[in-house]
Amino acid sequence: MDSLLLILFAYLLGSVLFGEHIARAKGVDIRSVGSGNVGATNVGRALGIKYAVLVFLLDTLKGLFPVVLARIYFGIDSWTIVFVGIASVLGHIFPIFHSFKGGKAVATSLGVLLGLSPLASIVCLIIWYAVFKLKGYVSLASLTASASAPLLLFILGYPFKVLLMSFVIVFLVFCRHRDNIARLLEGREHGFKGS
């Protein structure tokens, strides 16, 4: 398998915005609802929990699949896996099929993490759920869970390259949440149901 082709594939697959396609199929312009984001949370606001779960699963799978291929063909301690993981996330954030206007890449990043460490992913999901239950904001839960990923990978003894990838992904996820962070600090963040 060619490493550059796999990186390109990861980017192109990441560029498929399932949230936007599914919402459009249901007659909804997801960018004009709630936070305007194309992710599972906003699809949930527009179409309900069933569709939120569907988008979450598809966005997670599109992050998982290329990393699993990279792991099989190049190994976990390879630069290919680093670039494949980052390419999936960049695809979701800057999708070529959607004028480079993408989402916040939380589910896609989780998919990448799942391909690296199922254990770290489960712990991140538990952290996500705990923060969401305590505070009621998906964005805060997503930011806390994603910030935990590099620490968990470090504790679990993953190679430096994997830690580097996870830091880059966390940085990208935080950049994409800058409006959420501002709203959280000002106490006017959207709830899961509200807009």
Checking 33-37 for CB contacts under 8 A at 24+ apart, the result is 33/195, 34/190, 34/194, 34/195, 35/179, 35/180, 35/190, 35/195, 37/103, 37/104
Using the rule CB under 6 A, give the single segment among 35-43, 73-81, 93-101, 119-127 that binds ligand G3P: 35-43
CB atoms within 10 A of CB 139: 23
Site for ligand G3P contains 92 (CB under 6 A): no
Q: Quick one: which of 119, 115, 169 has its CA closest to 147?
A: 169
With CB under 6 A as the contact rule, which of the stretches 1-9, 34-42, 128-136, 148-156 interacts with ligand G3P? Answer: 34-42
Q: Which residues contact 147 (CB under 8 A, 6 or more apart)?
A: 170, 174
Binding of ligand G3P by 109 (CB under 6 A): no
Q: Least Å distance between CB 8 and ligand G3P?
A: 25
- Does position 138 interact with ligand G3P (CB under 6 A)? The reply is yes
Query: To 10 degrees, what angle do helices 79-93 and 49-74 make?
Result: 150
Complex with ligand G3P: residue 60 or 142, whichever CB lies closer: 142
CB 80 within 8 A of CB 74: yes
CB of 78 to ligand G3P, least distance (A): 28
Q: Shortest gap between Cβ of 114 and ligand G3P (angstroms)?
A: 16
Residue span binding ligand G3P (CB under 6 A) among the ranges 36-44, 62-70, 82-90, 124-132: 36-44
The verdict on 112 binding ligand G3P (CB under 6 A) reads no
One residue of 30, 47, 172, 190 binding ligand G3P per CB under 6 A: 190
| 39 touching ligand G3P, by CB under 6 A | yes
The phi and psi torsions of 87 (rounded to 5 degrees) equal -65, -40
Instruction: Check residue 42 for interaction with ligand G3P (CB under 6 A).
Output: yes
- Write out the DSSP string of 118-134: HHHHHHHHHHHHHHHHH
* Interface residue list for ligand G3P (CB under 6 A): 34-35, 37, 39, 41-42, 104, 106, 138-139, 142, 180, 190
